[in-house]
């Protein structure tokens, strides 16, 4: 195994943090993440060298914008599952009254906290080590993290491809049962999963991608917002020139997005259970 091979799934957090550091140094940067270089550490640049950074850069900006949009539309809690080395509470204008929860594997959480000591976040940040594939531990964490919130948003950025389909199904069911309004994620359909495993090959080491499915995989969730990575990358001049034509495609791609086996992008899903609860409350208060 070389320095540029992922040793474990948490190395992928150093990998994407290195991309954010490189983007932040551009004069036309789509975002500024001043902590990214420190968090990526010496391994981050080695993992990043020779791999394409534009899909990560573009998804970061799409998710930044969609989080701020959710906060403008009543989101009162953010729960970042598999937060890795994400620093949005430090670099985005998150209102001070927002509680922002972060969960990741214990070693990653400890590594990040050791480097963030002394840094000040814009909102209250609560860090809890959780293995999201342990459904009992996840449900317990969500009960704590959603307490007192009316419109909680869960973010799983860069997580699902590393899980097995059964683990994603179980995660989806736990989230659906919790009082969660929105679930935001980067989404990869089956053709994209295959392409990434071929392109990155041995680089991924033990962190080979395992999950990619059409969006109708997520039972009990409906699509609330969808932004194509290819389209945004072309618009922002981040993808290779041969892909610039993607700027002309609709955000939802061609054909029904729910069943697309080719699409990749950022989506915000709405919990059908939450919608039903809200409709019932409206009916009660109207009587």
E-assigned strand segments in the chain: 77-81, 99-104, 124-129, 152-156, 182-188, 221-228, 264-271
Tokens of 194: 């295959």
Residue number, nearest CB to ligand SAM = 84
Q: Among residues 113, 102, 62, which one has the least CA distance to residue 80?
A: 102
Which of 6, 21, 71, 108 is close enough to bind ligand SAM by CB under 6 A? 108
When asked if residue 162 is in the footprint of ligand SAM (CB under 6 A), the reply is yes
When asked if residue 132 is in the footprint of ligand SAM (CB under 6 A), the reply is yes
What residues between 28 and 47 interact with ligand SAM by CB under 6 A?
A: none
Specify the residue, 158 or 205, whose C-beta has the smaller distance to ligand SAM: 158
What residues between 166 and 225 interact with ligand SAM by CB under 6 A?
A: none
Q: Provide the 3-class DSSP secondary structure of residue 131.
A: coil
Strands 99-104 and 152-156: unpaired
Do 225 and 267 form a contact (C-beta atoms < 8 A)? yes
Which of 39, 67, 85, 257 is close enough to bind ligand SAM by CB under 6 A? 85
Q: How far is residue 181 from each of residues 35, 153, 161, 200, 270, measured CA to CA in Å?
A: 30, 6, 23, 35, 6
**Shortest reach from residue 133's CB to ligand SAM, in Å:** 4
When asked if residue 131 is in the footprint of ligand SAM (CB under 6 A), the reply is yes
Specify the residue, 64 or 258, whose C-beta has the smaller distance to ligand SAM: 64
Q: Interface mask (CB under 6 A) for ligand SAM, residues 55-84, using x and -?
A: ---------------------------xxx
Strands 264-271 and 182-188: antiparallel
Which of 100, 157, 189, 263 is close enough to bind ligand SAM by CB under 6 A? 157
**Shortest reach from residue 246's CB to ligand SAM, in Å:** 22
* The 3-state secondary structure of 8-30, one letter per residue: CCCHHHHHHHHHHHHHHCCCCCC
Which of 18, 153, 159, 192 is close enough to bind ligand SAM by CB under 6 A? 159
Do 272 and 221 form a contact (C-beta atoms < 8 A)? yes
List of residues contacting ligand SAM (CB under 6 A): 9-10, 12-13, 16, 82-86, 104-105, 108, 131-133, 157-159, 162
């Amino acid at each position: 195994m070389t320095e540029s091979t992922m040793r474990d799934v948490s190395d992928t957090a150093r990998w994407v943090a290195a991309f954010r550091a490189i983007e932040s140094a551009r004069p036309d940067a789509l975002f500024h993440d001043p902590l990214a270089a420190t968090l990526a550490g010496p391994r981050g640049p080695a993992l990043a060298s020779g791999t394409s950074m534009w899909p990560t850069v573009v998804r970061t900006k799409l998710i930044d914008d969609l989080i701020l949009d959710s906060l403008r539309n009543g989101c009162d809690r953010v729960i970042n599952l598999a937060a890795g080395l994400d620093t949005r509470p430090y670099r985005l204008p998150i209102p001070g009254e927002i509680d922002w929860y972060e969960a990741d594997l214990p070693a990653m959480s400890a590594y990040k906290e050791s480097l963030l000591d002394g840094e000040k976040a814009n909102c209250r940040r609560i860090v809890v080590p959780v293995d999201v594939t342990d459904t009992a531990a996840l449900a317990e964490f969500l009960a704590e993290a959603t307490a007192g919130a009316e419109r909680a948003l869960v973010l799983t950025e860069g997580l699902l491809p590393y899980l097995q389909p059964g683990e994603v199904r179980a995660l989806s069911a736990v989230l659906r049962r919790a009082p969660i309004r929105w679930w935001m994620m980067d989404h990869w359909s089956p053709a994209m999963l295959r392409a990434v495993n071929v392109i990155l090959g041995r680089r991924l080491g033990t962190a080979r991608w395992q999950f990619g499915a059409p969006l109708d995989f997520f039972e009990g969730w409906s699509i609330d917002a969808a932004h194509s990575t290819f389209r945004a990358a072309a618009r922002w001049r981040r993808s290779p020139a041969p892909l610039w034509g993607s700027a002309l495609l609709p955000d939802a791609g061609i054909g029904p997005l729910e069943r697309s086996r080719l699409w990749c992008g950022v989506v915000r899903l709405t919990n059908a259970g939450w919608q039903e609860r809200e409709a019932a409350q409206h009916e009660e208060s109207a009587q």
